[in-house]
Amino acid sequence: RRRRGVRDAGESVGEPEDMWSWYVIAQVKEGTEGRGAIESVIRSAQKELLKNYPNLPIPKKLSRRRTSDGWEVLDIGDSLLHVVSREAASKWLEGK
């Protein structure tokens, strides 16, 4: 957690024995997940990361299939990018 007055990016939410140091969770606007918004965010993130950090272990080609469960993940080596729909977020992250 970030402390008030501290100018760093915060601490990792993972435990020291976890495979990943950071988890980034992004939620797309409600109603856009059926039109490819989740996949678009993943592809945009992949493109920018490969352009700016070419040595990251990110797959060069991603699947072109649409997600059926409202959740996509991009493995960025020691970090993960989760892109979810509102429905998936409430089901899996909030436990509703």
Q: For residue 11, is pLDDT > 60?
A: no
C-alpha to C-alpha distance for 29 and 26, rounded to whole angstroms: 10
How much is the mean pLDDT over the chain? 78
pLDDT of residue 56: 87
Strand pairing category for 79-84 and 71-75: antiparallel
pLDDT digits (tens, 9 = 90+) for 45-67: 999 999 999 888 887 777 666 66
pTM here?
0.69
More confident residue, 50 or 68: 50
Q: For residue 10, is pLDDT > 90?
A: no
Q: How far does CA 24 lie from the centroid of its chain?
A: 5
